[in-house]
Structure 1
């Protein structure tokens, strides 16, 4: 195992702290959070330069076995009598937790990310082209990350495409699902050593979709329903009632309703696993899991936490079965 940890301060000094880091934890989440790097350093270590110092805002780079893992900025420094320094760093997405206001028309999520990044001085990398043009995007005093995730949700609801948004070693990145597939298989006796599985229809399961739109000509509300009668008999009516886009026509609304039914009309399988670490795996990736409860499944990593301690690398994954 080869670990490289570098700190770059505002004066241009670069410190290699690989040898003094005792615990390293890298956490990623598929939505709503920046990735986090937490690490513990031995304060006043024997290899430490007398001018060594770390300040909030310093850049932290983390690589393992030649894989560039994390590029971010120090946001928290904890010290105490135990002669240890505990650092918390976040990637660029941390700067999207501030609020902003946008009024835009006919814009894709790819274009939206480009605009927000330019407005706030953030770096972008690969941004796969989104297919859905949001007719009217009006967001006032809302968290920038929530605005982006809402636009990603529009792509899923209207085009059935799930896009992954994350910071790839210092560059905001948007990738289609096929680009997030890893040839990683976890199973009992094959890297995986513990798991728990939950089956539920309690959250985000709908077998009936009602999209509605107010008809200005008739003065009435038009309803566009789609339902799965078999699942209604099995579970009862679990319905989603949602306003359609004002500029959408009947065919577009019906298509969206059908996409929503495909997305939500199923039992949710949630899986948590503990496994030997593979640094390629992050939230947003698709991997394969083989368990006795079901055949080999393609699953979506919702949250991922890697821990390197004492020469061991493990990972904890919260997974959605797709």
Structure 2
């Protein structure tokens, strides 16, 4: 059973607004911020109907069986005549995207740089794992979210490790994606057992393409005379023979020259392959989020194997929970 709670921004009162709420949707993608939308039934005869307590800046919490699913701030209200009032809610990472700041890091560890930014902006930290990639960068007029994303990308190119950032119960967590395997389940009724969401797919679409394939990767290093030198070049000969040469180049710092071939190998492993963009509509499980890995076996479209969830949009209407997922092969995410 889902319940939607409203906490006034001065913490003076808490309301259960479930009875006056129509459908609820929330989504996540491979950015730190996630969003929720809900509609409140509105009539102009308050003596016959509960008063709407929602206002901008209030906190909204979505609960499922006493477990918190989502927490965020109302940032937008939309009214149109006597239609239901639409509210848009963002989690606390919204603040990281709306501010602009300046940071200068002098070869400090990536995890230390990220932790400093989060603490400066009052974010509660759940977990920032050790990331030893040195960050030697000046960030001007960038949002904290943009800076953190750039730091994560630098660490990924150096190590091949990809992290997902998300808020859970008001705290921000960074987890390595390879560890985030999820198996969605649902129950048709309280007196029935859990079933795998893949046992009854509602809709499925699959697209395969070579448009973004790259089968040769070159790594460039800039020397002091502003000349570029090829530090490493790796290729997949079988894919070149089958599909033709598709090349990409990347620039790294001169001090990382020793790692050039390893960087090239990591990038080629991600790019030298067919790409898939797939969508699934399934019965819902709140644990299924963007950045998770999901094992799929869908015989109609031929989807089979482990996929990464790029986006997850959940909908609850009349207590029926469904979700729409966009899936890709894990190595395709940039």
TM-score (norm 1): 0.89
Query: What secondary structure, in the 3-state scheme, does the structure 1 residue paired with 2:202 have?
Result: strand
* C-alpha distance 219-59 of structure 1, shift in aligned 2 (>3 A): closer
Asked whether the equivalents of residues 186 and 289 of structure 1 are also in contact (C-alpha less than 8 Å), the reply is: no
Query: What secondary structure, in the 3-state scheme, does the structure 1 residue paired with 2:53 have?
Result: coil
Give how far 1:56 is off.
1.1
Asked whether the equivalents of residues 101 and 141 of structure 1 are also in contact (C-alpha less than 8 Å), the reply is: yes
Asked whether the equivalents of residues 108 and 151 of structure 1 are also in contact (C-alpha less than 8 Å), the reply is: no
Q: Which residue in 2 is equivalent to 1:212?
A: 220
> Does the alignment pair 1:196 with 2:205?
yes
Distance across 2 between alignment mates of 1:59 and 1:221:
53
Alignment of 1:225-236 (within 5 A): 225-236=233-244
Asked whether the equivalents of residues 231 and 257 of structure 2 are also in contact (C-alpha less than 8 Å), the reply is: no
Asked whether the equivalents of residues 197 and 283 of structure 2 are also in contact (C-alpha less than 8 Å), the reply is: no
Give how far 1:264 is off.
1.4
Please give the per-residue CA displacement for 1:190-209, whole angstroms capped at 9, x wherever unaligned: 13111111111212x21111
Please give the per-residue CA displacement for 1:51-88, whole angstroms capped at 9, x wherever unaligned: x5322111111111333111110001122332532211
> Does the alignment pair 1:224 with 2:232?
yes
Unaligned runs of 5+ in 2: 185-195
Asked whether the equivalents of residues 108 and 134 of structure 1 are also in contact (C-alpha less than 8 Å), the reply is: yes
Asked whether the equivalents of residues 165 and 172 of structure 1 are also in contact (C-alpha less than 8 Å), the reply is: yes
Alignment of 1:41-52 (within 5 A): 41-43=40-42, 46=48, 48=50
Query: What secondary structure, in the 3-state scheme, does the structure 2 residue paired with 1:147 have?
Result: helix
> Does the alignment pair 1:62 with 2:69?
no
> Does the alignment pair 1:140 with 2:153?
no
> Does the alignment pair 1:101 with 2:102?
yes
Distance across 1 between alignment mates of 2:207 and 2:303:
16
Asked whether the equivalents of residues 194 and 275 of structure 1 are also in contact (C-alpha less than 8 Å), the reply is: yes
Q: Which residue in 2 is equivalent to 1:71?
A: 71
* C-alpha distance 137-36 of structure 1, shift in aligned 2 (>3 A): same
* C-alpha distance 229-196 of structure 1, shift in aligned 2 (>3 A): same
> Does the alignment pair 1:166 with 2:160?
no
> Does the alignment pair 1:247 with 2:252?
no
Query: What secondary structure, in the 3-state scheme, does the structure 1 residue paired with 2:183 have?
Result: strand
Asked whether the equivalents of residues 23 and 317 of structure 2 are also in contact (C-alpha less than 8 Å), the reply is: yes
Between 133-142 and 6-15, the greater mean CA deviation after superposition:
133-142
Query: What secondary structure, in the 3-state scheme, does the structure 1 residue paired with 2:206 have?
Result: strand
Distance across 2 between alignment mates of 1:298 and 1:210:
29
Q: Which residue in 1 is equivalent to 2:119?
A: 118
Give how far 1:321 is off.
2.0
Give how far 1:47 is off.
5.9
Distance across 1 between alignment mates of 2:158 and 2:228:
24
Which structure has greater strand proportion? 1
Count of aligned residue pairs for this structure pair: 313
Please give the per-residue CA displacement for 1:213-235, whole angstroms capped at 9, x wherever unaligned: 13348966243211111111122
Unaligned runs of 5+ in 1: none
Distance across 2 between alignment mates of 1:214 and 1:116:
29
